[in-house]
Structure 1
Amino acid sequence: MDVDKAPINRAHQLERKAQSLNRHKKYDQAIEAHKEAAELFKACMALGNNQIMFESMQLQREWNERQIRLLELKKAYMERVEKEKKMNGMTPSKTPQKEAENLEAKIFLAMETHDSLIYYLSNKGVATNDKQTYSTIEEGDEGSVQLVGNKHPKDEATVIEELKVLSGQLRESVHGLLIQLDDRNKEIESLRAHIKHLELVRSSKSENENSSLISSTESSGGASPKSNPPAELDIPSLSGLPQLELLQVPLYDMSNLRQFSVSEVSTKLLRRE
Structure 2
Amino acid sequence: MAMSNNVIGAINIVATLLSIPIIGTGIWLTNQADNSCVKILQWPVIILGILILVVGLAGIVGGFWRIPWLLVFYLVAMLILIVLLASLVIFVYMVTMRGSGHVAPSRSYLEYRLDDFSGWLRRRVRSSYKWDRIRNCLSSTSMCAGLNQSYRSAQDFFDARISPLQSGCCKPPTQCGFTFVNPTYWISPIDTAADMDCLLWSNEQIQLCYGCNSCKAGLLANLKREWRRANIILIITLVALKIVYVIGCCAFRNAKTEDLFNRYKQGYT
TM tier, smaller: under 0.3
User: With structure 1 as the length reference, what TM-score do the two structures score?
Assistant: 0.26
- Higher gyration radius (CA): 1
